[in-house]
Structure 1
């Protein structure tokens, strides 16, 4: 059977490649593979990955804790680090964007940076990996929003105002389990202005790291479909980063989309970050997402290269195993294609326009 293409709503591969500080910007490491990580071009081809949102995430200077280790405990509340200063965040953001452009240039057409759904479809048709620039945490953008316009011109098409740490635009949902996503104030006035400008530029606003108040502030401020690129179901896994049924219903009403996160701490009922997580946990969340959102508003948002995923998937090359598992559970070809890629392209088209 021909593998089903996969469009991934979220990965942290650019950060991993950029941090290598290779002389060629990481192009060889990505294009030839063999250097670890969840996504490179050979793994993407093995997993039938057609493309995705490639995140730019600027790490804090010092986390101060091993948050992956903390999230293996029965309960946890990971301290939020301070955000990096704007100048530092901009330098890192440009570095990661340049990493993707260098990969594209060195790929001889095998990788394409896409700015529209038409370009994603064209890349798919010619067998190229379609990469969309996404920002996770807008620390590189000042309240004047000048950088937003420059980054949009460079290809930015999706943006999360915050990561889990607070910044000038709002407050994120912490890595806390068990916990409600209602953890404090939401968007600042600068954050609301950022959302309005994203609407004007047709940049998708990602809800995944916002706390509950911030989620509702976006819902009130934006007129676009509501998108959570990598989030799961709070009713199953009561993590502060997961979405309540009320939030899921709002996304359905606004004809948006949720990308199912493969990070095990958001999948497991005990909230732990452990690779020995059954694929049943993925199916459990997927079943619930489809029940609340319908089969046209759910996709994948793997969190590859930013989290521990079930060993049964391993990396992007394991996505056909996940789809085969879901097929055995009764998901037919049409629904699997929607979840794997069609729904993402439809949702982006609703945000970006034709």
Structure 2
């Protein structure tokens, strides 16, 4: 066995290594590829295997029973994150959105982050999955099952040629926007208190994007779209409506959260919502402060289950992309969430649905076989 394969094998097998690791967790969103890209790109990819200073790597996945999820490719804006998070600790805030990013500038970043994902697959750290059968096979082998997801479609040209090429490469999930506007539509700023009813929805290019994603079987992620864009997708898509990492507006009236009418539409489409661990979208006061008890997450889960039904709710952590509750700092801490679910009265069947089964269900309805 070569050194690379031996290194990976030492870190696999979480289903037998972690007490209470069943059911394993398949998660709606993480930003580890961006973190590795910023740390040096391909030269830093080995840190995912050896251990890195962040929320997600192989060692932490093994300890926490993290079985995979949506690995986001994201083009960052030149933003001071510390200043952004400091502003979001105030009683109210309205952060200006960054300027749009041109296709010519976005595409190289997307290619670089996607290259990290496929390099991790070559190293044996994960499997890039293009079907639910691929996900099940990876889980059966105790391999991380990764979905190639793009958060914000700046790297997609209006003619959608890039979309077709990226689909052939393995792209299976796409957010038309990450809050800042694209040629396809408009997102929501980080504003509290505020509804998501901010600005115009999808452009004509955006409507064509919806149609082509439906044809290909690329899941559309509605998490950062504004409300007008959400309703445009609802009117024009034939697929289940999915928000990979969003919470309940009725509990936290943040612009990033979903209103009751939006949740009703998701239920009617037989779609899905992944609970976002980002504390500003969990807390009633909308503050980006980590002293959030897991019980507050359970409040959102209870509400989402009430509105959507127990088959349409999962997890969408936003690990490596947000401030998360102090008891769930990394994926190694996920057993704390499972334990809290059990103590809250969720039975094993429901916990299994929330942890991974519901994601597989909605993907089977969305992806083209």
User: Which TM class, normalised by the smaller chain length?
Assistant: over 0.9
**Conservation of the 8 A alpha-carbon contact between 2:20 and 2:335:** no
- The one of 348, 353, 358 equivalent to 1:333 is 348
- Offset of 1:167 from its aligned partner? 1.2
* Residues 181-200 of structure 1 deviation map (CA, whole Å, 9 limit, x = unaligned): 10110100101111110001
- Does residue 251 of structure 1 match 2:266? yes
Q: Confirm or deny that 1:185 pairs with 2:200.
A: yes
Equivalent of 1:41, from 31, 55, 58?
58
Query: 2:211 pairs with 181, 196, 211, which one?
Result: 196
Distance 2:80 2:231 in 1: 28
Tell me the equivalent position of 1:18.
37
Structure 2 stretches lacking a partner, 5+ long:
1-18
Query: Deviation string for 1:123-154 (max 9, x for gaps)?
Result: 00011001110010000011010000011011
Q: Residues 1-354 of structure 1 correspond to what in structure 2 (within 5 A)?
A: 2-3=20-21, 4-22=23-41, 24-33=42-51, 35-62=52-79, 66-107=83-124, 110-354=125-369
Shift of 1:69: 1.2
* Contact 2:196–2:256 under 8 Å retained in 1: yes
Aligned-partner Cα distance in 1 for 2:215–2:43: 32
**Secondary structure of the structure 2 residue equivalent to 1:19:** helix
Q: Structure 2: how far apart are the matches of 1:86 and 1:52?
A: 26
Note if contact 2:130-2:147 (Cα within 8 Å) is conserved in structure 1. Answer: yes
1:46 Cα deviation from its structure 2 partner: 1.0
Separation in 2, partners of 1:126, 1:169: 39
Please give the secondary structure, in 2, of the residue aligned with 1:152.
helix
**Poorly superposed stretches of 4+, deviation over 4 Å:** 62-65
Q: Distance in 1 between matches of 2:234 and 2:192?
A: 25
Tell me if the contact between 1:249 and 1:293 (Cα under 8 Å) persists in the aligned partners.
yes
- SS of match in other structure, 2:364: helix
Question: Cα gap change, 1:346/1:232 in structure 2, threshold over 3 Å: closer, same or farther?
Answer: same
Q: Is the 8 A contact 2:101 2:182 kept in 1?
A: no
CA distance in structure 2 between the partners assigned to 1:136 and 1:191 by the alignment: 15
Distance in 2 separating the partners of 1:89 and 1:126: 35
SS of aligned partner of 2:328:
coil
Alpha-carbon displacement from aligned partner over 1:93-119 (angstroms, at most 9, x marks no partner): 000000011111112xx4111111000
- Secondary structure of residue in 1 paired with 2:202: coil
Gaps of 5+ in 1: none
Q: Distance in 2 between matches of 1:341 and 1:25?
A: 32
State the alpha-carbon separation in 2 of the partners of residues 62 and 322 from structure 1.
31
1:26–1:103 Cα contact (<8 Å) kept: no
- Note closer, same or farther for the CA distance 1:31–1:221 as it changes in structure 2 (3 Å cut): same
Give me the whole-angstrom Cα distance separating, in 2, the residues matched to 1:233 and 1:246.
Answer: 11
1:74-101, Cα deviation, whole Å (9 max, x unpaired)? 1000000012221110000000000011
After superposition, the C-alpha distances for 1:40-85 in whole angstroms (9 at most, x for unaligned) are: 1111111111110000110113469821111111100000001222
Deviates more, 1:183-192 or 1:65-74: 65-74
What is the Cα-based RMSD across aligned positions, in Å? 1.2
Instruction: Give the whole-Å Cα distance in 1 for the aligned partners of 2:255 and 2:81.
Output: 20
* Of 259-268 and 53-62, the range deviating more from structure 2: 53-62
Measured after TM superposition, the shift of residue 280 of structure 1 is: 1.2
**Matched residue count:** 350
Confirm or deny: 8 A CA contact 1:18 1:25 kept in the other structure: no
Q: Secondary structure at the match of 1:142?
A: coil
